[in-house]
Structure 1
Amino acid sequence: MKPRAVVFAYHNVGVRCLQVLLARGVDVALVVSHEDNPSETIWFGSVASVAAEHGIPVITPADPTSEALREAVRRVQPEFIFSFYYRHMLPVGVLALAPRGAYNMHGSLLPKYRGRVPTNWAVLHGETETGATLHEMSAKPDAGAIVGQTSVPILPDDTAQQVFDKVTVAAEQTLWRVLPALLAGEAPHLPNDLAHGSYFGGRKPEDGRIDWTQPAQRIYNLVRAVAPPYPGAFTEQEGERFIVARARLAPLGSEAASGLANLPPGLHVSDNAFFGVCGDARAIAISELWHVRDGNSVAVAPAQFAQLTHCPRHS
């Protein structure tokens, strides 16, 4: 008889991990997901669509603590509960409805980067590695015993989306590898030592504001961490807002970096190209700059930027 599960899931990790459960023969009796937010850029796959393709009932409750949700889960009598990038903490009363355990896939190498948007935080802090961890769920976020994890590299120019794509694959690999032992009751449950980890909250679009007095590497990490499809690192000049959509660190000693060394921190145009001069006199070379107006973002050329901001062009 197939083991029965209720799956709370959203986003690409939710899509791929749901597909792993189905491929491994798990009877997914119910999927709990989210309604897409019309104000959010939906650049990821739909868990609800995958469930519908397999004839699995889907509910999207607004309140994860509601008695109606608890009753819906209790009614299908799951042996397991899985959470794959579901955006709410699950109440202990719901977790207790799965006699064989409740497990979450988290996008970091726990105990590091517990909490919200772990991939973005890892890129922001200049990490060279992250990954995915399957762990038991408990009353505290991302605090239960570790069942399995897979690491991925963060390359120097990777954006958060590129890293997230790797983490999605790592999540799929982790679940595929450990699921047989988990279903057989033989999976390891390793300590998740919170004293050696870290916890971070969510991020808001305003957190992407660039402080040009900071060192170039820190600014570049911010650009990579929130690059589109995330809200983007932004700056304001002459009352106009601009998003630094794509950039690279200007190499030390390069002609471009040397020519900008005496300019004040901020956005500049030199040789018909954008540069951001940083607090340590290093620069980031900006290959794509967007102008934000009336809620819309449009790519701008150096000449347009100069007109909008009355910025002098340097040669």
Structure 2
Amino acid sequence: MKKTLFVISSLFFVGCASSNDMLYTQDEEQSLNLKETLPSVSNKMLALNGGEITLMDLDLNKTLIQPSGGGCSFETGYNIDNIYTSTAAFGPNPLTFFGYTIRGYGMPRTDGFLWKGIRLQAENIPATVFSRGQSRLVNNLFENALSIEFPFEPNATYEITLKSFIEDIIRTEKHDQYRLNDDNHNPQQSEAFPIVAVELANVPEIIGNDPCAKRPVLNNRFVSANYYKTQKAEIVVPPSSQQKTFVFNFSTTEAKNAFILYYLPERGSDPYIPESFFGMHLTGIRIIKKPFDPTHVVPPRVTNPDPSLPCGFRGGC
């Protein structure tokens, strides 16, 4: 029953859909296959366009048919009498979508009826564990990620713009007309905002133990600060949802082969773990290549401080 109610409560995402919101077509996908030619012509177009060129401009603000075969299976359906097993989600197996090769972690996906864009989710529910007769609170995480293969050349600056729709799902549950979902969480609204992170990666595979887990958690790993940047997805509550645009700038000193979008809940530590549950509907992606701008270069993290430099200076303290 909870599945049915969740599906019904999600219908507001398509409340502004109209007959002009069309599913992607084969012609659109074929035209976007031109991305393979981008590296060879980008330098010429940079000169012709005042030093900037748009390499990707995906409009996902529409209901979209999700390709199957991503490598994960889950139960879905539009009513309780029509529940079936589907593989229509982004997972460890690469899928071609709008001409790009995409992978997912935690089964981000589209829907041809219920919502627009690619849906990602991030949740943290405090959990109590017992050890040697004592209890403590730990993070019980739900994390998502989406990987898109894309060539990033060295010695250039890339502006990545993500358009999205952010929803506080806890507040939606507590204030909608359905009562059976009110017990899913304790607070009346989320107690912390999620984090949107973008990584320019050497390989498109997303690192984690189980990309199809019911509560997927990504592996922590060292990533150069120059190629991993974060922003907090803060919205005004009430209402429960808001359109948000995130802009990330990367100045590359080496080639990269993919960008990975992470959607992460805020973590806590005993004795306080903030409870939160947010949805993100990715409705647009734009990548602009610009001449190299050194101000966007982030110096490497210092592991062995230089004692001859003052604190706060590169390499000092």
Higher relative contact order (CA 8 A, sep 6+): 2
Larger radius of gyration: 1
TM-score in terms of structure 1 length: 0.25
The structure with more strand, counted as a fraction of residues: 2
**More helix per residue:** 1
TM-score by length of 2: 0.25
